[in-house]
A and B are shown apart, each in its own frame.
Chain A
Amino acid sequence: MAEEVSCLKARLMEKEKEIVALKNKLALEKNSLIDLQEKVTTLPPLKLKAALSNEDIMRYSRQLILPEFGVQGQLNLSQTSVLVVGCGGLGCPLAQYLAAAGIGRVGLLDYDEVELSNLHRQVLHGEDSQGQAKAQSAAHAVRRLNSTVECIPYHLQLSPENALQLIQQYDIVADCSDNVPTRYLVNDACVLSGKPLVSASALRMEGQLTVYNYRGGPCYRCLYPKPPPPEMVTNCSDGGILGVVPGIMGCFQALEVLKIASGQGSSCGQQLLMFDAQDAKFRSIRLRSKQASCAVCGENPTVTHLVDYEKFCGSAATDKCRRLSLLSKDQRVTVQEYKSIVDNTAAHLLLDVRPLVEVDICHLPTSLNIPLSSLEDRKSEHIRVLKERIGRVKEQMSNESQVPVYVICKLGNDSQKAVQVLEKMSGSEVDFVTVKDICGGLMAWAQKIDPSFPQY
């Protein structure tokens, strides 16, 4: 009996210990749920730090003994706040190194949520943070790394209405955004509030970095007074990007921010750093000085308050793909309509106009691949194949009507352009054809018709 009692008591103690452990874990998790800001609020000033604690000294010892940095550099860092605009491929490594080095306060801004296709380059987010606000997910990772860094996640879109109020509260701004309107907005807000802007960008296998509005140097508008035509702007989901490329550029941004924050200063104020990952080459370019004619930082500025940047650039402040609408309704079919054409085994030609590298990822079994660029350039070997395939479909058809050609791509933009090209060719460069595009492309096919078809 006594033995049983002591045995139960022992088990009870064990369970109690378990409860304490679980409670601690819960408290820790609650603690780590950082207040996500949905709008811009006024922050209290950073707490002044007169001296480093013993823990600080141990933690930062390896950078403290650098003569370029030293105790004063560390104290300067702890007094500096940095706004990171965009928690993606650039913002993740940037925020990570700023937090690790002991920056005083970091604002993490992103309107987006974590998706599986982000994880190859946005290295602060994990599989378990899919669907979470990127700002929240990044804040968690930063908090885990260094709990002494004050971290403020903003789940919002930077806009002409909120940008000044937000940027005025930070010492340094880092542009890690992914679209043209936001880059002009951030630049103008930095000029109007007198903040240095550490700006980087990356695409495919290349990266660029400049510090704008710094020590009398040029601003983004001094270099690019006019925005590029929207059709010439490629985003990461269209052009592709190797994750480590923004990783390297984000680390470079962190370096320049840390140099400014610690007091050493940046040498990228009138300089463009270009990185070519394919050839493993860095190149430093001497840039123009601040332009007297600049619309925002010049002698007679015309931009004296924030304007409508989406209108100015003719594109949306997002890197999500644009939806073109070039064709009339009768020139388009839905994926459901195309499915019934396939089911009825109606004679037709399916033309996939994506680049070969994307066709290698996935394609429909009967499609003929001719990239849009080859059609536009009238590549002779492709036109020959096209003629041949149209001829074969014609043979299968019992009546004399025109051969139906259905054009598909990833999302239904290039396919519309291809329809326009093919209509010009119809009856002259190739036999008469009736061309239609498949709305929404292969991604609509995957979502609505065949869930086993890969999405990318």
Chain B
Amino acid sequence: MAAPIAIHLEFGGGAELLFGSVKEHHVTLPNQSEPWDMKQLLVWIRGNMLKERPELFVQGDTVRPGILVLINDADWELMGELEYELQDKDNVVFISTLHGG
């Protein structure tokens, strides 16, 4: 039994527009039998935070192209991407790439 964990979510680069224009969210993930990983977090965000047009954020079981995911200030590719096991107080950032100039 994994205890509930509190994590800090941030959205930027325009991704916050899908979350009521709020950039920072403190969320508590409920306890469940196995540890929380990024894959489950995406499912949780989709079910609990994204009310409208989830396809603008997730595609399949990962984020849509053009969104970079950062875990504790590092590219999630360095952390195991979808398999990364979330820890209490982790900071997860979803940033939409900018193209303007």
User: Is B101 a contact partner of A226 (Cβ separation < 8 A)?
Assistant: no
User: Is A178 a contact partner of B101 (Cβ separation < 8 A)?
Assistant: yes
Chain A interface residue count, Cβ-Cβ cutoff 8 angstroms: 47
Chain B residues with CB under 8 A of A226: 65-66
Q: Give B1-44 as 1s and 0s: 1 = Cβ < 8 Å from A's Cβ atoms.
A: 00000000000111000000000000000000000000000000
Q: A201 touches which one: B12, B53, B73, B97 (CB < 8 A)?
A: B97
Q: Say yes or no for B58: interface residue by CB 8 A criterion.
A: no
User: Is B75 a contact partner of A201 (Cβ separation < 8 A)?
Assistant: no
User: Is B101 a contact partner of A90 (Cβ separation < 8 A)?
Assistant: yes
- Nearest Cβ on chain B to A138's Cβ, whole angstroms: 13
Q: Say yes or no for B89: interface residue by CB 8 A criterion.
A: no
Task: Give Cα A176–Cα B53 distance, bound, in whole angstroms.
Answer: 31
User: Is B13 a contact partner of A203 (Cβ separation < 8 A)?
Assistant: yes
If A227-B66, A232-B56, A283-B73 touch, whether A239 touches B100 (CB-CB below 8 Å) is yes
Q: Say yes or no for B68: interface residue by CB 8 A criterion.
A: yes
User: Is B52 a contact partner of A201 (Cβ separation < 8 A)?
Assistant: no
- Nearest Cβ on chain B to A148's Cβ, whole angstroms: 27
Task: Give Cα A456–Cα B97 distance, bound, in whole angstroms.
Answer: 25
Chain A residues with CB under 8 A of B14: 203-204, 234, 239
Chain A residues with CB under 8 A of B12: 206, 274, 276
Q: Say yes or no for A429: interface residue by CB 8 A criterion.
A: no
Task: Give Cα A177–Cα B100 distance, bound, in whole angstroms.
Answer: 7
Chain A residues with CB under 8 A of B68: 223, 272
If A224-B66, A227-B66 touch, whether A178 touches B99 (CB-CB below 8 Å) is yes
Chain B residues with CB under 8 A of A201: 97-101
User: Which residue on chain A has the smallest CB distance to residue B76?
Assistant: A288
Chain B interface residue count, Cβ-Cβ cutoff 8 angstroms: 25
Q: A206 touches which one: B13, B66, B70, B75 (CB < 8 A)?
A: B13
- Nearest Cβ on chain A to B71's Cβ, whole angstroms: 10
If A232-B66, A285-B74, A286-B78 touch, whether A179 touches B99 (CB-CB below 8 Å) is yes
With a 10 A CB-CB cut-off, give which of B52, B64, B67, B68 has the most chain A CB atoms. Answer: B68
If A276-B12, A377-B52 touch, whether A286 touches B99 (CB-CB below 8 Å) is no
Q: B98 touches which one: A176, A208, A288, A377 (CB < 8 A)?
A: A208
Task: Give Cα A3–Cα B13 distance, bound, in whole angstroms.
Answer: 78
Q: Give A149-164 as 1s and 0s: 1 = Cβ < 8 Å from B's Cβ atoms.
A: 0000000000000000
The 10 closest A-B pairs by CB, nearest first: A228-B66, A288-B77, A226-B65, A201-B98, A203-B100, A90-B101, A236-B100, A178-B101, A203-B98, A286-B74
A/B interface sample: 30 pairs, CB < 8 A? A89-B100, A90-B101, A175-B101, A176-B101, A177-B99, A183-B99, A203-B99, A203-B100, A206-B12, A208-B97, A208-B98, A223-B75, A224-B65, A224-B97, A226-B66, A228-B65, A228-B66, A228-B67, A232-B56, A233-B99, A234-B14, A235-B100, A246-B100, A272-B68, A272-B75, A284-B73, A285-B73, A288-B78, A319-B100, A376-B52
The interface of chain A, by Cβ under 8 A from chain B, is 86, 88-91, 175-180, 183, 200-204, 206-208, 223-229, 232-236, 239, 241, 246, 272, 274, 276, 283-288, 319, 376-377
The interface of chain B, by Cβ under 8 A from chain A, is 12-14, 51-53, 56, 64-68, 70, 73-75, 77-78, 95-101
